Amino acid sequence: MKKTTKHTDRNDNNKEKFSDKPYPIIIISVFFSAVFICLISYICWYSYNNKQDLVNNSHNTRQAILLAQNSRGSIYSSDGQVLAETTTDSEGNESRNYPFGDLFSHIVGYSTNGKAGIESLANYYLINTSIDLSKKVEAQESGTKFPGDSVYTSLDVNLQQIAYNQLSAYKGAVIVSEPKTGKILAMVSKPGFDPNNIEKEWDSLINSDGTELLNRATQGLYPPGSTFKIMTSLEYIRENPSSYNNYSFNCTGSFTSGTDTIKCYHGENHGTLDFFSSFAKSCNSSFANIGLSLDRSSFGDTLSDLMFNDELPLELNYSKSSATCNESMSTSDMMQLAIGQGTTSMTPMHLNMITCAIANGGTLMKPSVINDIESADGKVVESYSPTEYKKLMSSEEASILTEMMKGVVETGTASRLKGLSYTAAGKTGSAEFKESSSDSHAWFTGFAPAEDPQICVTIIIENAGSGGEYAVPLAKRLFDAYLEN
């Protein structure tokens, strides 16, 4: 008997002890362990993900350390021509050399007095080196710096040259890209500057009234004019998917609603139009009429879909386009919006991206200008494959818009592209930028061949006149050069 009682006593003791244990200590220990696991994961994650941004930050003095060890890498065009390189003279002084002078001024950019263009975009790679250890030893023995990694771009010297020459003395911008990959083949902005002399000319560049440093292709905000009828048409198709073909309008050269009047370009009288011919002839009166029929909040949503007032998937510096449509807009505002005038403004790059999406069945590829990064001894460090950004419109909508843009070439304002060995599609624009003046910016945006789009071109020539007369011939040159070789 004695034995059993003893046993129960001891068990009770144990139980009592357990409930008496200071369990909060365990809770606190587990809590802090969890907090520290989060902290460690966070540190690893953060420094891994943001390494490039942090190194590129202009306040980071550590860039100087890297540049003391490595000489800045080179930038090449798609066919391997040098666009930027660092040369060292006999006394060991480094200088940055741009063989093409001001041809690539904005897109390649500069690396002194701040950074711009690809020089800024790929700065992290240009100042780091990935050459083999054995090559590093060789360089160290010969007393030279390690060569930084090279950037291979998608830029095409030939197309860039044509765009540059054809713009001649006009201000403006040209963008040539591949709709299926998002690769930028050429980007010209005029007036430019010679990056070789950037240091010498810096003061005059930033003090002058001119805007030489501005990359008009991505940062210039222009009234889109008639090219904006692409957005208005897309909204009209969305609202009238089965009946847009039944649209009919009689143009008398102007359109009046209440006290507000919209005139066609040079007051031209277009006669009886359907939806397609309104677009092809770029009839302002007809589109003002269409604009008034649209559902305002739905048009606002479509504009958001098309990335207006929003970020673009672009790593270069750019400005945000703006076009708003809401219930509180007046009749006059609505008519101005429909034809891309008034407060609406857009960058050429943004228009190029929308055109690319139309050419690519509605899907926008993320624009890119860098193909890959290679070390000086030829190892591929980083390779960029085309990535989809998002679907801006359905493929049906894209094919209707393509048909309409083909109509512009065949029967409308871009007839200078008619009858070639390929079929082009596009939209012209003549954007008025001053009240009570007939001066206008010449726009063209389009692609070719329409059946299987390979190349997409967006052009703006400031203060030149009509798009059909001035911008379309430039587009023809670029299409010819790209498709006929």
Residue ranges binding another protein (CB under 8 A)? 2-3, 6, 21-29, 32-33, 35-36, 38-40, 42-44, 46-47, 50-51, 54-55, 57, 59-62, 65
Q: Least distance (Å) from another protein to the CB of residue 94?
A: 21
User: Which CB sits closer to another protein, 148 or 291?
Assistant: 148
Smallest gap from residue 44 Cβ to another protein (A)? 6
Burial class (CB in 10 A: 0-12, 13-18, 19+), 246: exposed
Q: 38 vs 292, which CB is nearer to another protein?
A: 38
Q: Which is nearer to another protein, 50 or 144 (CB)?
A: 50
Cα–Cα distance, 369 to 384 (Å, whole number): 10
Give the count of beta carbons closer than 10 Å to the beta carbon of residue 451: 10
Provide the token pair at 398. 């894209």
Helical (H) or strand (E) element with 481: helix 467-483
Pick the closer one to another protein by CB: 29 or 245. Answer: 29
Parallel, antiparallel, or unpaired: how do β-strands 370-374 and 260-263 relate? unpaired
State the CB neighbour count (10 A cutoff) for residue 163. 29
Distance, CA of 363 to chain centre: 14
- Say how far apart CA 227 and CA 471 lie, in whole Å: 12
Q: How far is the CB of 132 from another protein (least distance, A)?
A: 18
State in angstroms the smallest separation of the CB of 116 from another protein.
19
Cβ nearer to another protein, comparing 58 with 387: 58
Query: Shortest Cβ distance from residue 190 to another protein (Å)?
Result: 33
**Which of 50, 97 has the CB closer to another protein?**
50
Residue 44: enclosing H or E segment and its boundaries? helix 23-49
Residue in the structure block whose two tokens are 């006149």: 465
Q: How far is the CB of 59 from another protein (least distance, A)?
A: 5
The DSSP line for 140-166 is: HHHTPPEEPPEEEE---HHHHHHHHHH
In 325-460, where does DSSP find H-type helix? 331-338, 348-359, 395-411
Task: Specify whether the CB–CB gap between 323 and 350 falls below 8 A.
Answer: no
Q: How far is the CB of 49 from another protein (least distance, A)?
A: 9
Least distance in angstroms from the C-beta of 127 to another protein: 11
Scanning 306-415, the segments in alpha helix (DSSP H) are 331-338, 348-359, 395-411
Tokens of 309: 């007032």
CB of 151 to another protein, least distance (A): 21
Radius of gyration, CA atoms only, the chain = 30
